[in-house]
Amino acid sequence: MLLKIGTRGSTLALVQADRVCTMLKAKGIDTEIKVITTEGDTNTGVPLHEIGGQGLFVRALDDAILRGEIDAAVHSMKDVPAIRPPGVLTSAVLPRDSPADFLAHDKSIDQVRVVGTSSTRRKAQLLRYDPSVIIAALRGNVDTRIRKLAAGEYDAIVLAEAGLERLSIKLPGNRLPPEKFVPAPNQGTIAIVSRMEPSLTEIMSLLDDPVTRSDVAIERAVMEEVGGGCFTPLGIYCRNGHLIASVLSLDGTREVRVEHDIRTVAEARDRGVELHNEARELIKEAYTLLGISMRDEGAGGNK
């Protein structure tokens, strides 16, 4: 059986897809990689929230699965939206890599003033830590971002540590501890999405890591109840059932933060509802300031 594995065309996406193919090959499954180009890959001049958020990348691959062009797709799981189209599911979650962000810079931290990132979460967290920094928009793949840093366009840039590790890239800088700079939900995790066909899901389940799946399911449940999508500065991180979740104002001056030990997804949803209620005004404020309608939130039912 030959499986067609879809992916974006960036270097990181291809490395992640190749990891999945290598794991499947070890199970005796033949694969081939098919690159799917998305608007998010070609339109890098504007912030993601203006063209549909990270879910833009996933939708193109979902459509390819449903059209039968590919059998499955490999994603950074943090990019997979809460609401999924009928006919596809997350059929495997690989063991988690580092969930942390990494602040890359080649000068003294005291000299860092202009930091490149287009993530509202990273912007708010950096401003909360140091209100004097200037956040400048930065998009593009990892190579493009590093090249802009080397060209002196920024004093520092923020990247996912897992992406650097997967690409075997070593940069000077600082790991941002996830307990303080709470990562995006599911950051550091690779997911495999496939059609809802028993033959496919049975194969993909061979690669599934139950511990990681449990932690990211808790994070996702909280995310769905809090709402906000990629528009709100929202960090959610669970490790072995210990949950940290944080909602910030866009300027980083205010934060609602909770920590709990979670045993079930149902309990995670309860904590998510509580966090949503406590952070309701911050979520609404973020949408207002970004000029985005709340109906675009695309998350859980507790708005």
pLDDT confidence tier of residue 229, bands split at 50, 70 and 90:
low
**Contact criterion met (CB below 8 Å) for 159 and 102:** yes
169-216 residue pLDDT tens: 999 999 999 999 999 999 999 999 999 999 999 999 999 999 999 999
**Contact criterion met (CB below 8 Å) for 203 and 29:** yes
Number of structural domains, the chain? 3
Q: What range defines the domain where residue 202 resides?
A: 1-95+189-208
Is 101 catalytic? The answer is: no
Q: Are residues 82 and 110 in the same domain?
A: no
Q: Are residues 24 and 6 in the same domain?
A: yes
**Residue 40: inside a domain:** yes
Q: Are residues 225 and 263 in the same domain?
A: yes
**Residue 111: inside a domain:** yes
101-150 residue pLDDT tens: 999 999 999 999 999 999 999 999 999 999 999 999 998 889 999 999 99
**Residue 184: inside a domain:** no
Q: For residues 67 and 64, what is the distance between their CA atoms, to the nearest angstrom?
A: 5
* Closest by CA position to 267, among listed 221, 231, 228, 299: 221
The better pLDDT of the pair 166, 303 is held by 166
Q: Domain ends where: 155, 176, 197?
A: 176
Q: Which helix (H) or strand (E) holds 255?
A: strand 255-261
Residue of 62, 79, 97, 101 with catalytic role = 79
Q: Are residues 198 and 247 in the same domain?
A: no
Dihedral sign (CA 82, 273, 233, 167): negative
Q: Identify any residues that bridge with 4 across adjacent strands, giving them in sequence order.
A: 32
52 token code pair: 């549909």
- Tally DSSP H helices, then E strands, for the chain: 10, 13
The amino acid sitting at 201 is T
**Contact criterion met (CB below 8 Å) for 186 and 230:** no
Q: Are residues 116 and 89 in the same domain?
A: no
